[in-house]
Chain A
Amino acid sequence: MLGSERGVVEEWLSEFKSLPETHIRSYAGSLHLKKSLVPALYRVIQDPNSELLEPVCHQLFELYRSSEDRLRRFTLQFLPELVWVYLRITASRDRQSNGCIEALLLGIYNLEIVDKDGNSRLLSFTIPSLSKPSIYHEPSSLGSMVLTEGALCQHDQIRVLYSGLHPQRETFTAQNRFEVLCFLMLCYNAAVVYMPLSSYQSVCRMSSRLCVCGFPRQQQKLWREPCNRVLLDPEFMVQMLTAVYHAIYNGEWEMGREALEDIVYRAQLELYSQPLLLGNAMKNSLPESAPDEPRGRKVLQVEVTPTISRISISAITTASIRRHRWKREDTDGMSGGEDSFNINDPDEGFSSGASNSSQPSGTKAGGGAGPRASSLSSSSSSIKKAITARLSRDKEKVREREREADRKAELLTDHQSAESRPPQRQQSPPSSINLEAIHLSPIKKHLSFPVGPALVRTGSTSSSKSFDCMTFNLNGGEDEQEAAGARGSDRERGISAGGSHRHSTISLQEEHLVRPEEAQELLSPGAPLTKQSRSPSFNMQIISQV
């Protein structure tokens, strides 16, 4: 480290200490003007033996603790470098020199997991639903989407928590390491726009190195420092990708793309689906050439796009099929004759049909299956079927055509539903299982046996609750019902067998695990319920009984 750099850092250390409270705002505004400070700080962080490391980490934490956003962001820009140094040293098991960086990372983490009032910070967002009007669309104008399974079971927008309720951490352990680091990267990504270019470079460097060090690809890199492989967590890699993605489009085109390649490489080797999924999408949607603007920003290149569709009218699309269908319906169905045929401008008719088909949401609730539909996709898909059936009663012919047209896509779905709901095909087991589910509910009462020793008592409440949960489970969904029902009733098989019962029949045969006929015999006496007992409303009754 050069003497001048040292001087810069020392000056910075002493300056902030002597700063009166009132000057903090102006100090925050002027910090970015110290051009040589940031590179000097990087040097300090990279050198594990620097005696300045400890005061620097301390000061960075002080900045982070201040209420001034710009100061917090000043600290945050070093996060990638800190994470890299921390993980590298952890992999080399030279823990001593890591202490102050660990402390700084944990300090930031512990500050970030709570809000101003000290409550746990919950980060959530709403998944928009096209079936609800928004400032950008009206459900009816997007006809085709409304009747999909997803739209039906997600008729409402869903609020999803993506981070929250993190406990305070005093130390890093192998177990909590990536929980903490993921959260820190999440914070970094939430402010990534405010980071300077040097930080983007750092995040790309960190990602590349973490992903290749100790792997053969490291040999192709300029950076060859021997280093153990660093364990990575898929979720952490997703956070890295998010940061790198931003860097690619905001000035670090070359480094960013290299880092992206390296992350994908590592994700392949680790067989991690999540980062691979995102990495592939990012690679596939990269523009072909580097940005030409001086600052290298290439968030977007906009040209005037022609408003006329580039696709020829004669090509068959989903829309054209639907148009065709509506025409047919008009001619042979509604007896409207030529007149109505013309009134129904293809798209108009299409959207009115769509708003018709959005009504099933009402039917769904009326059937008493609303909540269940949204909680289990298998059941909701059956509900969907029911609804389509109801809808199509008068339009059967037309729907049939649609089904044929979309069959390729639906083949998959059918396959799955067939697999997860074998009972629809093999008749009797499910009904008897349902009965079992009802019979199980009284068991709950005699469960709350008084239990003996102190040790035992600690868990007794939770376990009786747990049984609540189990019985709920039994009624909750068909899948669970079968599995749990089989477990509860079939005395011949253990849990393992019960679990596998859910499996496709093929696999059952393969594994010689169960003898379905026997199980059936065991259950069938005293199982007067017919197949209809599987109807949603009946299940609702069971639920209310419980």
Chain B
Amino acid sequence: MTTRKSGSRLETEIERCRSEGQWDKIPELVRQLSAKLISNDDLGELLLGECKLQTYLKENPIKQGSSPRGPRPKLVEVRKHLTAALDRGNLKPDYLQEASLLMAKLCYVEAEFRDALGHYSRVNLDDMQLASAPVYRLSMIAEAYATKGLCLEKVPASSPSLSNKNTGSPSSNRSTTDREQEIITCYEKSGDIALLYLQEAEKALSAGIQNRSPKPGPTTQEQELGYFLETGLQRAHVIHFKNGNLTQGVGRFREILRAIETRTTQNLRMTIARQLAEILLRGMCEQSYWSPLEDPPSVSPLDDPTRQGHTYIKNYSLSRSPRVYSGENLFCPQENTEEALLLLLISESMANRDAVLSRIPEHNNDRIISLQSASVVYDLLTIALGRRGQYEMLSECLERAMKFAFEEFHLWYQLALSLMAAGKSARAVKVLKECIRLKPDDPTIPLLAVKLCIGPLHWLDEGEMFGKMVIDMGEKAAEFRAKGYLAIGLVYSLKATDASLRSTQEEYQRKALGAFQRAHGLSPTDHLAAFYLALQLAVSRQIPEALGYVRQALQLQGDDVHSLHLLALLLSAQKHYHDALNIIEMALSEYPENFNLLYTKVKLEAMCRGPEEALLTCKHMLQIWKSFYNLTNPSDSGRGSSLLDRAIADRRQLNAMTLPDFSDPETGSVHATSIAASRVEQALSEVASSLQSSAPKHGPMHPWMTLAQIWLHAAEVYIGMSKPAEAAACTQEAANLFPTSHNVLYMRGQIAELKGNIEEAKRWYEEALSINPTHVKTMQRLGLILHQLQRYSLSEKVLRDAVQVNSTAHDVWNSLGEVLQAQGNAAAATECFLTALELEASSPILPFTIIPRAL
């Protein structure tokens, strides 16, 4: 009565050991068992046979892809035990079945496939009860089905074994089909039961741990599946895919994935989830998709048509199947990309979790393996999210990879590109810097960085540094060398525009011109090089030369909107206003909604055709604006619809992104524009990535800037018509949007002047200058007013400042001349007038710098 366990407890213990695969404890338990009852001898034989067979398999595992090689001396004992158990026939029917299954398994291990099949036919696997079976028996049945499938694959279609050679006949054809069907059914059943077994085993394990007292079991040990269960779980879909039967393969994948995960299946699930995503992305499209809860289409383009008729039909149901994920509001993908994304996010979270972080040499191999498997998942995520334009989310995903991406160029580069595509420019540049460090020979990377520095960021010094990197690569940069020169030329050109000192301005302009010339020389077929060369020449008022290059650019790319615009401005500089207007109208037929062209059109029309026409164009612009942006109406609160609107606006935004800024183009407009633009972009993408928000929506700033600008243009036309009231109304519209814009204040000053309120005008101008101290037009007007008020020296000071800021403003020179004349300084005045005349001869209707400069 001391240490001996009572019958039922002993049996429970045996069952537990069998379930948990603790074969080493069995012999001792059998000894205890046989001491109790004589009739248990047979059971003892069974258990000993089992434990020896399992121990053997554990020590000599069968490898996937290899087949068993015949009888082994070590297994003789096993056969002896099992034969003993079977022959005497004293066993309970359940145990008798188990003994047969073990015998069949032994036969398989010894390559006696036909014998194994014989045992299976005697047992009739389908009759075995799953419902109340102990855990270990589930595993046994699953293994039995898998083994049966393996045997069936080895043994040629048996029953009509003679007629089998005659493969042409339809009957044998059908029998091979039947055989295939039988094999797959075996594997699928095996897989299902294996999943059920794993779920039950895990449940039992955790329950067991809780019940058992302090002594810890070997809980951390991972459960090995073994050859048979692994085969059972996976062989079915391998056969499906080998046969080109994608529809069934996908169906099987989905079945496996829907079963609740166990620790043992994690790795398998991760692989299968990735593979299913690959199929969805590579072999399916929206029209051929069917949802996991729907029946697959009967004829699918996915399946190999040469094997039509070989399609497998699932025709079994088990009395107990593995538990699947269930509950209310379960998300079920309805679309190709949705399912791919879900699967990839699941694999990503697993890959991420298992990524090896330590960098000690011993773990190098592990690290590389885990990195590769994660990298594949991230590539697929990129493809899935990229083709739906979800760069924001993609950049967040890739960021998660960073913790194990140390020194891994590919992941860093992808992160940089995704940040760039998501409009997170500043961070993209930082990541690109790291990419340059990892791969210093690739000219594309610094060029991408310059692109961001010139465009949304306006980090000109950084841009210069990146541009120089490309140029320093010399011949190695190959085709990118020209781009490098173009990039650095743009940097200098923008710096020249920003510079406040005339000498620096000229220095940068010279450098820019040189760089553009190099770019054009290196890549004469690139229209951008020719165009920017022309633009730079135009800015430094070399009009005829500029015309030559802009014509070249147009020959290379006849549709280019900026080249056409520049051509029109150049013509206007030569005072061919009608030609310029024709060009603008032609350009507008290709780009009917380009506000930049329309602004120029307003100016030209006011000049050639009178202000009424210009006003009509302003009205037209307002209509375009409305049709463009009315969808972003901020007051509409429908959750779904407003998101749709936002997305549309986002798309259109791209077309309109090159609008000039509201502020004066000659004083660093690109800066303000671009920053506003990047903010818009940011706001948009953030809004787009969150349907959730019921909070107030962010109106993108850019449309409002455009609107204000349209109003100001209209105001200007009215001023030209000497209609102060209308001009004031238009200005008020702009002021409603941007009450503190210096342009609005400048316009108010002009209106006051028109009304004859010199003092009021002066006040407005002074306010405008307090907001933007380098606004040349305001300075010129203020200078004039001071002149009228006979405050000559102050006027001269203001005008001289204005000339410092922009040396090509002819009306400033003119005003300066007048002031100097009034002060009696005739010689200097003459010089100023001459300069003014000269500049006026080459002055375009709008500054050349309203044309955006970007890579």
Please, which residues of chain B bring their CB within 8 A of the CB of A300? 241, 246, 249, 275, 278-279, 282-283
Cross-chain contact A495 with B736 (CB below 8 angstroms): no
Across the interface, do B288 and A346 meet the contact criterion of CB distance under 8 Å?
Answer: no
A sample of 13 cross-chain residue pairs with beta-carbon separation below 8 angstroms, ordered by A number, consists of A137-B261, A144-B352, A161-B648, A175-B593, A271-B483, A277-B386, A300-B249, A310-B369, A374-B692, A375-B698, A409-B399, A463-B736, A494-B672
The smallest beta-carbon distance between A183 and chain B, in angstroms, is 11
B291-335 to A contact mask, C-beta < 8 Å, 1/0: 011000000011010100000000000000000110101111111
B263, A347: Cβ atoms under 8 Å?
Answer: yes
Q: In the assembly, what is the distance between CA of A55 and CA of B402, in Å?
A: 57
Contact of B301 among A194, A295, A318, A473 (CB under 8 A): A194
Pick from A451, A502, A543: contact of B675, CB under 8 Å: A502
Q: How far is the CA of A164 from the CA of B682 in the complex (A)?
A: 21
A161 proximity list for chain B (CB < 8 A): 643-644, 647-648
**Would B736 and A464 count as touching, CB distance under 8 A?**
yes
**B interface size (C-beta, 8 A):** 211
- A residues less than 8 Å from B591 (CB atoms): 173-175
CB distance from A447 to the nearest CB of B (A): 5
Q: Does B633 contact A (CB under 8 A)?
A: yes
Given contacts A300-B249, A312-B363, 14 further A-B contacts (CB under 8 A): A127-B390, A136-B342, A150-B397, A160-B390, A165-B648, A193-B283, A268-B480, A273-B448, A281-B382, A299-B279, A302-B275, A345-B206, A452-B725, A495-B740
B87 at the interface (CB under 8 A from A): no
Q: Is the CB of B679 within 8 A of A502?
A: yes
Task: Give the docked Cα–Cα distance between A191 and B244 (Å).
Answer: 20
CB contacts under 8 Å to B, within A192-247, are 192-194, 214-216, 228-229, 231, 235, 238-239, 241-242, 245-246
B121 within 8 A of A: no
1/0 per position for B52-83, CB-CB distance to A under 8 A? Answer: 00000000000011000000000000000000
Which stretch from B25-33, B231-239, B754-762, B824-832 is at the chain A interface?
B231-239
Output the residue of B265, B354, B644, B692 with the most chain A CB within 10 A: B692
Q: Which residue of B lies closest to A216 (CB)?
A: B479
B504 at interface, CB cutoff 8 A: no
**Is the CB of A282 closer than 8 A to any CB of chain B?**
yes
B222: which of A303, A309, A370 is its contact (CB, 8 Å)? A309
Closest residue of A by beta carbon distance from B688: A160
Pair A135/B331 contact, Cβ less than 8 Å: yes
Cβ-defined partner of B345 (8 Å) among A130, A372, A455 = A130
Q: B64, B369, B386, B635: which contacts A468 (Cβ < 8 A)?
A: B635
**Contacting residues of chain B (453-469) with chain A, CB-CB under 8 angstroms:** 459, 461
Instruction: Point out the residues of chain B lying under 8 angstroms from A141, CB to CB.
Output: 261
Of A391-399, A427-435, A485-493, A526-534, the one contacting chain B is: A485-493
Shortest CB-to-CB span from A231 to chain B, Å, is 7
In the complex, which of the residues B257, B430, B671 contacts A415, with contact meaning CB atoms closer than 8 Å?
A: B430
Chain A contact-residue range equals: 35 or more
Docked Cα-Cα span, A55 to B640, in Å, equals 44
* Interface pair B331/A132, CB less than 8 Å apart: yes
Confirm or deny: B92 has a beta carbon within 8 angstroms of a beta carbon on chain A.
Answer: no
Stretch of B41-49, B410-418, B576-584 lying at the A interface: B410-418
Q: Which B residues touch A26, using CB under 8 A?
A: none
Name the residue on B nearest A189 (C-beta): B285
Is B807 positioned at the interface, with any CB of A under 8 Å from its CB? no
Given A494-B740, A499-B676, do A372 and B293 touch, yes or no (CB 8 Å)?
no
Tell me if B156 counts as interface (CB < 8 A to partner A). no
Q: How many A-B Cβ pairs are below 8 Å? A: 527
Instruction: Encode contact with B along A310-324: 1 for CB under 8 Å, 0 otherwise.
Output: 111011111101000
In the complex, the answer to whether B696 meets A473 with C-beta atoms within 8 Å is yes
Given contacts A133-B329, A162-B389, A311-B369, contact A302 B342 (CB under 8 A): no
Cβ contact within 8 Å between A499 and B672: yes
Q: How far is the CB of A384 from chain B (nearest CB, A)?
A: 12
Q: Please report the C-alpha to C-alpha distance between residue A135 and residue B238 in the assembled complex, in whole angstroms.
A: 23
> Is A465 at the interface (CB under 8 A from chain B)?
yes
Q: Say whether A318 contacts B352, CB under 8 Å.
A: yes
Q: CB-CB < 8 A to A406: which residues of B?
A: 403
Smallest distance from the beta carbon of B153 to chain A beta carbons, Å? Answer: 13
Cross-chain contact A282 with B379 (CB below 8 angstroms)? yes
- Of A4-12, A13-21, A109-117, A151-159, which binds chain B? A151-159
Which of A136, A144, A305, A338 counts the most B-chain CB atoms under 10 A from its CB? A136
Query: Which positions 270-312 of chain A face chain B at CB distance < 8 Å?
Result: 271, 273-274, 276-278, 280-282, 284-285, 293, 295, 297, 299-312
Instruction: From B220, B275, B370, give the contact of A346 (CB < 8 A).
Output: B220
Q: Is the CB of B732 within 8 A of A451?
A: yes
- Contacting pair B742 A133 (CB below 8 A): no
B521 within 8 A of A: no
Contact (A304, B644) CB under 8 Å given A277-B421, A458-B619: no
**A483 within 8 Å of B (CB atoms):** yes
Q: Is B592 an interface residue (CB 8 A)?
A: yes
Query: What 1/0 mask marks residues of chain B from 689 to 719 whose CB sits below 8 Å from any chain A CB?
Result: 1111111111100011101001100100000
A271 touches B444 (CB 8 A): yes
Asked if B690 and A311 sit within 8 Å, CB to CB, the answer is no
Interface pair A319/B219, CB less than 8 Å apart: no
- Chain A positions within 8 Å of B278 at CB level: 299-300
- Evaluate contact between B707 and A125: CB separation under 8 angstroms: no
A109 and B305 alpha carbons, distance in the complex (Å): 32
Expressed in whole angstroms, the minimum distance between the Cβ of B485 and any Cβ of chain A is 14
Q: Residue A271 contacts which of B354, B394, B448 (CB distance < 8 angstroms)?
A: B448
Chain B residue at minimal CB-CB distance from A345:
B219
Decide if A2 is an interface residue (CB 8 Å cutoff): no
Selected from A122, A124, A159, A463, the residue in CB contact (under 8 A) with B737 is: A463
Given contacts A372-B693, A495-B672, contact A135 B282 (CB under 8 A): no
Is the pair A157, B331 in contact by a Cβ cutoff of 8 Å?
Answer: yes
On whether the beta carbons of B671 and A451 are closer than 8 Å, the reply is no
What CA separation (Å) do A268 and B477 show in the bound complex?
12
